[in-house]
């Protein structure tokens, strides 16, 4: 499997570290309340199909939002966060 | 028998090897199998169960019978297929699974007992008495049955693994594969063409036909030359693709002087793996000399070898006639035994119609056979019986993602289901297009489809002309006659075993496989599975499509573990990181221990010291009383620069860092977003704007990733940049009452207050000086560029020794910090919070990572396990890390657990053991006596709970 790094292009999956869904970019305010923080920290979708994910490309240290199809592993997009 | 004027071997390069000590003459381009046949050797091995004589059955990787051991000692390879091993000068080839010799194998007596050894015999015969199974029966059966033996000595460590990427992977270089690669290669696509054999061309090298007016072999050679001239095409001969994995990844085993296991990732793949001929079950069909008809043709055209002098060909297809025709034209006597009523006339050879081979004779190879036919019954002399039950597409990879093949009634074979593996398309014989024209056309079409999928345009090109006879195949699996009719030649499975399986209710094809072991040998039944399931279908009355196939799984051919795990043996298992002063540590005899990927000195033995504790205690005392130096280069170092560096550090640290003045150092705590402690360390602000974040050795990588995350994902607007400089700087700790004197002996270094820092020079080299302490003594850390690291270390050790000091290792470092109650990842174990560790006050009221979550009620519950110090009531009491804590009177059971010891050791300074522990409600229990139990190491002692810092609690010594 290959993933696309915004800097380096298509690279082997083993160069990347998975972090979580791209929704982690929407970090609640410190005073957003327990429910918002609970959802942010613990609740995850498990999509079949298109998934937007945060990956770290270890060799160049770039973080990327990779749009990926969980059924086919096809990468449909990759962009800096 | 070698035939002049035939074959693609290099007759100008003769060579010889040995088989069981006998000299075998061969030519460059031969396989071991072709050379054995050329030398008239038919008996090559013994079967797994009955030790029946076995010969060469095929000319490819599907070989079930001719397994041999190649080489000896370190380079010994058991179970090599003689059909795939290239003949080489001096090669030592031995037969296997026979004793005392291949011709006189006493274990062949097992064959006489075959009525007892039918399918499932080990479930029945050896069941009683029960205890005998493990002690007697199983070892005896294992000794008797089997394959080649391992040498017992470590193998040569020369296998390799490798990775490659391409747009299009073409599997197999027969007519379909060559045409697909030409089509895609000419259009500029990035193509890898992999083929099992040393010479590409597949069946084109094994048939007497023409392509585009050239001999098929010459056309193939031209095609390969053209492909080799294309810079965008990579040719991988001797490479068997072994499996189709997720996301366009294919495994491949490349043979050569050593094996290389490849992982090839491609956008598209074309399966042009051809077809595998199937046999027919008839009595005595397992004798050496009984071979597949296509293989006999292959040996003739590819290697110039006649597999026999008098050859009978038995089959039910026009394709089988080609074997009789080609042999006849080459001057070998051949007769065609055609099972069909409407068999065509022979092209220069005799044809018996409605023929059935009903038996064979010959001790170590076939000598005669009996046949019934339309004209009666006959006995024939033959030293080779070429058999063809038709061809099965080699569709294995299309089923590796659990796809199932489809039964094609017209071809009487299974064909691939399209799109069963995403991105993989079968072409040519692998798809059921058995004619050469069909293969060329299918390959070209698959090549064009792949180009379209890759977004490339495909120029139209004329198709090479080739034979296009209609292909007729029929289901003809078995001759109805008495006698043992063999299916799986390696595991000795007969038609009777299949019927027995059905009778005993193992009617599913998966059950039949396991009950009879059909297809479970090293060849996975490539030449026999379809016939076996056809017989099962017949026995159960369900028909072939309803019976279905067993599951196809990678690898397609056996892959040596040495190739899969290449390089990962011994020290190759993980890379090793060494500090600049590594050789100096080793020269002093320091035992090196692993710390993540780093290796660090654990202690430096002095003359007369025999245990690590003696060295460690001395090193601790030296630091407390004189001065010690320690290599701390493995700590992570991250430089932070930019106008917003302070604001950025306020996001990653739980405490406030932006208020740090230039020339000062502050202890910092990083949290994960869920509120638990991630790492601790110091943060220094050098005059001039650089900030240096120090991490623990283990967390250097994760903290870098975490800070990159904060920078790129959370604080996108801040003007700040980060760089890891862990490897760039050697850092040496100097600690002890004489630390300053040591510094002054090194050079003109600035005076610093506690928690001060400066940029300076040392011996002309740039240097950084920090006044920080992990030991509780007056302490400094000096950093110089790594290329000066070894000299600084030597100088510092020499000066320390002149002051009565010494170097100290990881053990002493750990005791020193334990006496002070400083933290490591034994305490920051991923479940602890700043509150648990007594650092709750550091969490500032600001929007930093983890601050919001760290205030959740559950994380600030006073009853949580929280950090305390432990001292034994008995001064000689022992404490161990990992021991559990209980109330004094409570039983040492899980529900009574009060916490556990995170770190423990002997304090030479205080003269007794010391521990740190996470204890429920810890800080509120100071003074309490509790029980420490380590059931694993049989330690039990009473300890008093107290503060974490056991030595110099007000810190006067380190502040100086
Ligand atoms: Zn990158």
Residues B301, B168 within the same domain? no
Question: Count of residues for chain B?
Answer: 960
Has residue B758 been placed in a domain? no
Q: What is the pLDDT of residue B354?
A: 97
Query: Number of folded domains in chain B?
Result: 5
Going from the Cα of B260 to the center of ligand 1, the distance in angstroms, rounded, reads: 27
Residues B866, B912 within the same domain? yes
Residues B172, B305 within the same domain? no
**Closest listed residue to residue B808, CA positions, set B587, B586, B602, B588:** B602
User: Exposed, middle or buried: residue B25 (CB in 10 Å: 0-12, 13-18, 19+)?
Assistant: middle
Q: By the 8 A CB rule, do B852 and B866 touch?
A: no
From the list A2, A17, A63, which residue is nearest B713 (CB)? Answer: A63
User: Sign of dihedral through CA atoms B207, B208, B211, B216?
Assistant: positive
Give the pairing of strands B290-292 and B384-388.
parallel
Q: Is CATH 3.30.2270.10 correct for A2-25+34-79? A: yes
CATH number of the structural domain spanning residue B103: 3.10.20.440
Structure-token pair, residue B186: 């000419």
* SS3 state at B423: coil
Identify the domain boundary among B414, B436, B453.
Answer: B453
CA angle B145, B151, B157 (to 5 degrees): 130
Q: By the 8 A CB rule, do B38 and B1 touch?
A: yes
Taking the domains of chain A in order of start, what are their residue ranges? 2-25+34-79
- Contact residues, chain B, for A63 at CB < 8 Å: 708-709, 712-713
- B713·A25 Cβ contact <8 A: yes
Structure-token pair, residue B484: 């043992």
CA angle B630, B633, B638 (to 5 degrees): 140
User: Exposed, middle or buried: residue B608 (CB in 10 Å: 0-12, 13-18, 19+)?
Assistant: exposed
Measured between CA atoms, the residue of chain B closest to residue A17 is: B705
Has residue B568 been placed in a domain? no
Q: What is the 3-state secondary structure (H, E, C) of B106-127?
A: HHHHHHHCHHHCCCCHHHHCCC
Has residue B465 been placed in a domain? no
Structure-token pair, residue B173: 């270089």
Which H helix or E strand runs over B905?
strand B899-907
Q: Measured between alpha carbons, how far is B642 from B631 in angstroms, rounded to an integer?
A: 30
Residues B262, B405 within the same domain? yes
- A37·B716 Cβ contact <8 A: no
* Eight-class DSSP state of B541: T
- Contact residues, chain B, for A10 at CB < 8 Å: 165
* Eight-class DSSP state of B212: T
Q: Measured between alpha carbons, how far is B526 from B548 in angstroms, rounded to an integer?
A: 15
Q: Measured between alpha carbons, how far is B648 from B691 in angstroms, rounded to an integer?
A: 11
Going from the Cα of B576 to the center of ligand 1, the distance in angstroms, rounded, reads: 24
Q: By the 8 A CB rule, do B89 and B15 touch?
A: yes
Q: What is the pLDDT of residues B743-790, one digit of tens each?
A: 999 999 999 999 999 999 999 999 999 999 999 999 999 999 999 999
Query: Chain B: nearest CA to A51, how far in angstroms?
Result: 16
Q: How far apart are the first and last CA of chain B?
A: 94
Measured between CA atoms, the residue of chain A closest to residue B724 is: A61
Going from the Cα of A65 to the center of ligand 1, the distance in angstroms, rounded, reads: 12
Return the number of CB contacts < 8 Å for A and B.
58
Q: What is the pLDDT of residues B246-283, one digit of tens each?
A: 889 999 999 988 899 999 999 999 999 999 999 999 99
The phi, psi pair for B225, rounded to 5°, reads -60, -45
Q: Which residues surround ligand 1, an ion (CB under 5 A)?
A: A 5, 7-8, 57, 60, 62
B157 CB contacts (<8 Å, ≥6 apart)? B562, B567, B569, B572
Q: CB contact, 8 Å: A10 with chain B?
A: yes
Q: What is the pLDDT of residue B122?
A: 59
Residues B642, B673 within the same domain? yes
Give the pairing of strands B939-946 and B865-872.
antiparallel
Q: Measured between alpha carbons, how far is B602 from B581 in angstroms, rounded to an integer?
A: 14
Show the domain range for B665: 635-725
Going from the Cα of B831 to the center of ligand 1, the distance in angstroms, rounded, reads: 32
The phi, psi pair for B302, rounded to 5°, reads -85, -35
Q: Measured between alpha carbons, how far is B498 from B537 in angstroms, rounded to an integer?
A: 10
Has residue B761 been placed in a domain? no
Q: Measured between alpha carbons, how far is B333 from B324 in angstroms, rounded to an integer?
A: 8
User: Sign of dihedral through CA atoms B255, B257, B260, B264?
Assistant: negative
- B713·A54 Cβ contact <8 A: yes
Residues B21, B101 within the same domain? yes
- What is the interface pTM, i.e. ipTM, of the complex? 0.98
Q: Measured between alpha carbons, how far is B466 from B203 in angstroms, rounded to an integer?
A: 13
The phi, psi pair for B916, rounded to 5°, reads -115, 145
Q: CB contact, 8 Å: A41 with chain B?
A: yes
Q: Measured between alpha carbons, how far is B328 from B299 in angstroms, rounded to an integer?
A: 14
Q: Measured between alpha carbons, how far is B826 from B485 in angstroms, rounded to an integer?
A: 67
Residues B255, B397 within the same domain? yes
- B847·A29 Cβ contact <8 A: yes
Identify the domain boundary among B684, B699, B725.
Answer: B725
**Cα-to-chain-centroid distance, residue B697:** 29
Structure-token pair, residue B244: 């189709």
Residues B308, B359 within the same domain? yes
Q: Measured between alpha carbons, how far is B169 from B177 in angstroms, rounded to an integer?
A: 10
Has residue B848 been placed in a domain? no
Q: What dihedral angle (degrees, nearest 10) is formed by the CA atoms of B148, B151, B156, B158?
A: 10
**Cα-to-chain-centroid distance, residue B753:** 54
- B704·A61 Cβ contact <8 A: yes
Query: Chain A: nearest CA to B401, how far in angstroms?
Result: 12
Going from the Cα of A12 to the center of ligand 1, the distance in angstroms, rounded, reads: 11
Would you report the helix, strand and coil content of chain B in percent, each value rounded to 5?
A: 25, 30, 45
Which H helix or E strand runs over B132?
helix B132-132
* Number of C-beta neighbours around residue B38 at 10 A: 25
* Eight-class DSSP state of A25: G
Predicted TM-score (pTM) above 0.90? no
Structure-token pair, residue B846: 């600001």
Measured between CA atoms, the residue of chain A closest to residue B245 is: A1
Residues B657, B689 within the same domain? yes
Q: Measured between alpha carbons, how far is B74 from B76 in angstroms, rounded to an integer?
A: 6
Q: CB contact, 8 Å: A13 with chain B?
A: yes
Residues B909, B951 within the same domain? yes
Identify the domain boundary among B370, B389, B408.
Answer: B389
User: Sign of dihedral through CA atoms B905, B907, B911, B912?
Assistant: negative
Residues B265, B320 within the same domain? no
Q: What is the pLDDT of residues B149-201, one digit of tens each?
A: 888 888 777 899 999 999 999 999 999 999 999 999 999 999 999 999 999 99
Q: Hey, of B251, B454, B712, B858, which one would you mutate to test binding to chain A, going by the most A CBs within 10 A of its CB?
A: B712
Residues B267, B283 within the same domain? no
Give the pairing of strands B92-94 and B10-19.
parallel
Q: CB contact, 8 Å: A79 with chain B?
A: no
Q: Measured between alpha carbons, how far is B328 from B40 in angstroms, rounded to an integer?
A: 19
User: Exposed, middle or buried: residue A49 (CB in 10 Å: 0-12, 13-18, 19+)?
Assistant: exposed
**Cα-to-chain-centroid distance, residue B873:** 52
B131 CB contacts (<8 Å, ≥6 apart)? none
Relative orientation angle of helices B436-453 and B175-186, to the nearest 10 degrees: 30
- Contact residues, chain B, for A1 at CB < 8 Å: 246-249, 265
- Paired with B2 in beta bridges are B305
Question: Count of residues for chain A?
Answer: 81
Cis link prior to B129 (omega < 30° from 0)? yes
Positions in chain B short of pLDDT 50: none
- B709·A63 Cβ contact <8 A: yes
* Number of C-beta neighbours around residue B863 at 10 A: 9
The phi, psi pair for A64, rounded to 5°, reads -140, 145
**Cα-to-chain-centroid distance, residue B857:** 46
Structure-token pair, residue B590: 């320091």
Going from the Cα of A62 to the center of ligand 1, the distance in angstroms, rounded, reads: 5
Could you tell me where the beta strands, DSSP code E, fall in B42-99? Answer: 45-46, 53-54, 67-70, 77-81, 92-94
- A73·B673 Cβ contact <8 A: no
């Amino acid at each position: 499997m290959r993933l696309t790094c915004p800097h380096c292009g298509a690279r082997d999956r083993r160069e990347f570290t998975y972090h979580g869904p791209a929704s982690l970019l929407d970090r609640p305010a410190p005073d957003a309340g327990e429910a918002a923080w609970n959802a942010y920290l613990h609740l995850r979708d498990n999509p079949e199909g298109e998934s937007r994910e945060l990956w770290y490309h270890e060799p160049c240290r770039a973080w990327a939002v990779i749009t990926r199809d969980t059924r086919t592993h096809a990468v449909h997009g990759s962009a800096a966060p | 028998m070698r035939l002049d004027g035939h074959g693609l071997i290099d007759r100008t390069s003769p060579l010889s090897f040995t088989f069981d000590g006998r000299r075998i003459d061969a030519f460059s381009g031969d396989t071991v199998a072709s050379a054995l046949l050329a030398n008239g050797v038919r008996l090559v091995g013994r079967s797994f169960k009955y030790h029946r004589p076995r010969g060469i059955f095929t000319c490819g990787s599907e070989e079930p019978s001719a397994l041999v051991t190649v080489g000896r000692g370190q380079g010994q390879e058991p179970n090599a297929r003689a059909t795939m091993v290239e003949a080489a000068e001096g090669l030592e080839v031995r037969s296997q699974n026979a004793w005392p010799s291949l011709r006189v194998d006493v274990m062949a007596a097992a064959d006489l007992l075959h009525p007892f050894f039918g399918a499932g015999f080990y479930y029945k015969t050896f069941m009683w008495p029960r205890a005998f199974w493990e002690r007697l029966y199983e070892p005896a059966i294992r000794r008797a049955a089997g394959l080649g033996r391992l040498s017992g000595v470590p193998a040569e460590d020369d296998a390799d693994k490798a990775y490659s990427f391409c747009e299009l992977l073409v599997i197999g270089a027969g007519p379909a594969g060559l045409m697909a690669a030409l089509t895609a290669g000419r259009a500029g696509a990035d193509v890898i063409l992999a083929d099992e054999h040393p010479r590409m061309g597949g069946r084109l090298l094994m048939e007497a036909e023409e392509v585009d007016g050239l001999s098929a072999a010459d056309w193939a050679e031209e095609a390969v030359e053209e492909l080799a001239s294309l810079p965008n095409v990579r040719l991988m001969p001797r490479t068997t693709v072994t499996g189709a994995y997720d996301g366009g990844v294919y495994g491949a085993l490349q043979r050569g002087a050593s094996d290389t296991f490849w992982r090839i990732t491609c956008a598209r793949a074309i399966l042009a793996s051809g077809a595998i001929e199937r046999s027919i079950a008839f009595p005595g069909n397992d004798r050496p000399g009984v071979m597949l008809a296509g293989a006999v043709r292959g040996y003739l055209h590819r290697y110039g070898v006649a597999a026999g002098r008098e050859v009978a060909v038995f089959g039910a297809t026009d394709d089988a006639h080609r074997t009789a025709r080609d042999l006849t034209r080459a001057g070998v006597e051949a007769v065609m035994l055609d099972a069909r009523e409407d068999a065509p006339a022979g092209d220069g050879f005799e044809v018996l119609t409605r023929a059935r081979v009903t038996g064979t004779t010959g001790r170590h190879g076939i000598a005669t056979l009996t046949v019934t036919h339309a004209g009666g019954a006959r006995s024939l002399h033959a030293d080779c019986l070429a058999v063809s039950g038709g061809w099965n597409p080699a569709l294995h990879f299309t089923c590796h993602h659990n796809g199932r093949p489809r039964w094609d009634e017209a071809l009487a074979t299974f064909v691939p289901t399209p799109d069963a593996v995403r991105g993989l398309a079968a072409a040519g014989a692998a798809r059921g297009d058995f004619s050469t024209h069909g293969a060329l056309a299918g390959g070209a079409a698959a090549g064009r489809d792949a180009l379209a999928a890759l977004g490339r345009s495909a120029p139209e090109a004329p198709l090479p002309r080739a034979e296009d006879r209609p292909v007729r195949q029929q289901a003809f699996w078995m001759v109805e006659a008495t006698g043992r009719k063999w299916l799986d030649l390696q595991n000795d499975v007969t038609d009777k075993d299949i019927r027995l399986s059905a009778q005993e209710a193992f009617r599913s094809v998966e059950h039949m496989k396991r009950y009879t072991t059909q297809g479970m040998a090293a060849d996975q039944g490539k030449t026999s599975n379809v016939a076996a399931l056809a017989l099962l279908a017949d026995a159960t009355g369900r028909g072939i499509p309803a019976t279905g196939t067993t599951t196809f799984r990678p690898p397609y051919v056996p892959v040596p573990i040495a190739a899969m795990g290449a390089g990962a043996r011994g020290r190759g298992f993980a890379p090793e990181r060494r500090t600049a002063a590594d050789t100096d540590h080793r020269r002093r005899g320091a035992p090196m221990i692993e710390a993540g990927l780093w290796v660090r000195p654990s202690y430096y033995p002095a003359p007369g010291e025999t245990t690590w504790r003696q060295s460690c205690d001395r090193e601790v005392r030296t630091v407390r009383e004189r001065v010690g130096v320690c290599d701390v280069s493995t700590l992570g170092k991250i430089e932070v620069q930019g106008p917003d560096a302070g604001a950025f550090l306020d996001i990653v640290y739980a405490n406030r860092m932006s208020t740090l003045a230039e020339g000062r150092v502050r202890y910092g705590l990083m949290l994960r977003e869920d509120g638990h402690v991630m790492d601790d360390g110091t943060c220094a602000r050098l005059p001039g704007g650089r900030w240096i974040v120090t991490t623990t050795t283990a967390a250097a990588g994760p903290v870098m990733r975490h800070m990159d995350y904060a920078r790129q994902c959370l604080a996108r607007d801040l003007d700040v940049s980060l760089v890891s400089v862990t490897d760039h700087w050697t850092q040496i700790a100097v600690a002890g009452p004489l630390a300053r004197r040591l510094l002054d002996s090194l050079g003109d270094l600035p005076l610093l207050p506690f928690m001060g820092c400066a940029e300076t020079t040392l011996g002309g080299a740039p240097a950084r000086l920090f006044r920080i302490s992990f030991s509780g003594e007056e302490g400094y850390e000096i950093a110089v560029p790594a290329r000066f690291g070894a000299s600084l270390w030597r100088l510092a050790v020499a000066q320390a020794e002149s002051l009565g000091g010494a170097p100290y290792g990881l053990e002493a470092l750990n005791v020193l910090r334990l006496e002070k109650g400083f933290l490591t990842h034994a305490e920051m174990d991923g479940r602890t919070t700043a509150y648990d560790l007594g650092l709750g006050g550091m969490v500032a009221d600001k929007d930093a990572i983890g601050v919001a979550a760290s205030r959740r009620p559950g994380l600030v519950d006073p009853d949580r396990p929280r950090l305390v110090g432990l001292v034994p009531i008995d001064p000689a009491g022992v404490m161990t890390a990992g021991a559990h804590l209980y109330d004094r009177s409570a039983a040492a059971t899980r529900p009574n657990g009060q916490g556990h010891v995170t770190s423990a050791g002997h304090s030479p300074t205080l003269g007794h053991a010391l521990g740190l522990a996470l204890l429920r409600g810890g800080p509120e229990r100071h003074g309490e006596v509790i029980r420490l139990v380590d059931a694993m190491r049989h330690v039990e002692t009473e300890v008093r709970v107290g503060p974490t810092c056991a030595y110099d609690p007000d810190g006067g010594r380190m502040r100086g």
